[in-house]
Amino acid sequence: DAKTTQPNSMESNEEEPVHLPCNHSTISGTDYIHWYRQLPSQGPEYVIHGLTSNVNNRMASLAIAEDRKSSTLILHRATLRDAAVYYCILRDVSGGSYIPTFGRGTSLIVHP
C-alpha cells in the first residue's frame, strides 16, 4: 500500500469541528482511502472510506482532493469520546499489494 503522512497530533475543543488531514501523494488509481481510529486499549475501528467522491456517514465525513493526493477526515462536532489516534491508510483493490500497514497516525486531543 502507498505511504500516507499525517500530523502527529491535533487538538480541538468539545463540540467544535475537527479537520484531520492526510497526504498520500503516491496514491494509485485503484487505491481506496480508509480511515480508522483507535481508542485507548482497544482495537482500531473503521471510520470511513472513499475513492474519489466525498463521503458521509454517521461517524464522519471524508473530503477527497480533486487530484486525490490528500484527504481530510471531518468530525462535525467533536466529543470527548472522539479522543483517539486516527489512522489514514490506502487500500488497493486491484489485486496488487494488499497488506495493511499503519503509520503513527494523528493523536486527537479533545478539550472539554
Residues that bind other proteins (CB under 8 A): 32, 34, 36, 41-46, 49, 51, 87, 91-93, 95, 98-105
Of 59 and 65, which has the nearer Cβ to other proteins? 59
Instruction: Give min distance, CB of 105 to other proteins, in A.
Output: 6
Q: Which secondary structure element, helix H or strand E, spans residue 74, and what is its range?
A: strand 70-75
Cell 494523528 -> residue: 106
For 82, which DSSP code?
G
Residue 54 C-beta: closest distance to other proteins, Å: 15
The nearer residue to other proteins, 43 or 112, going by C-beta atoms, is 43
| Residue 11 Cβ vs other proteins, minimum distance, rounded to whole Å | 17
Q: Which residue has the cell 496514491?
A: 27
Please say which residue, 46 or 54, places its beta carbon nearer to other proteins. 46
- Dig out the grid coordinates for 95 from the structure: 489485486
Minimum CB distance to other proteins smaller for 44 or for 110: 44
CA-to-CA separations, 56 to 26, 60, 64, 108, in angstroms, rounded: 24, 6, 11, 20
